[in-house]
Amino acid sequence: MSASTTMRVFIPLTIRKRNGRPKIVPPADMVPDTGGMDPHVLKAVARAWSWRRKLESGAVSTLSDIAEAEGVTPAFIRRTMKLAYLAPAVLEQILIARRSPSVSLKDMSAIAEQPWVVQKGIVFSAE
């Protein structure tokens, strides 16, 4: 048997602040292009719509059923589910135009309870 060798790999990472928290960002050529969007926002909106369709189709009867199937708390489901009720103008900017919201996911859930006419101004206010 030969002696083990050490290999060093250098990956140029950068640290950026996102929603006030540091985030390690890999080089652009190593990650799929999301148009500058945080993939967590896209995933949360997709999950919310998936759960909404399950409820509307009758595949599940309560949010607790979804929580049990997903292995998360009902409070998480309730908070995330609100993203399925964002204004169409907000969803268009997030999903099609890939415009990053200026608020956190938690804040977007609360904003979903506002009238549609004011949501876009709140979600993209800091830009």
| pLDDT digits 0-9 by tens, 4-46 | 788 787 777 788 877 778 877 777 666 555 556 778 889 999 9
Q: Give dist(CA 117, CA 28) in Å, integer.
A: 35
- Tell me the pTM: 0.68
More reliable by pLDDT, 37 or 87: 87
> What are the structure tokens assigned to 34, written together?
């999301």
Give the pLDDT of residue 58.
93
Task: Please say whether the beta carbons of 103 and 38 come within 8 A.
Answer: no
> What are the structure tokens assigned to 13, written together?
């990472």
Give the pLDDT of residue 11.
73
Give the pLDDT of residue 9.
77
Burial degree of 24 (CB within 10 A; 0-12, 13-18, 19+): exposed
Any idea which of 32-41, 53-62, 75-84, 115-124 has the lowest mean pLDDT?
Answer: 32-41
Confidence grade of residue 127 (pLDDT, cut at 50, 70, 90): very low
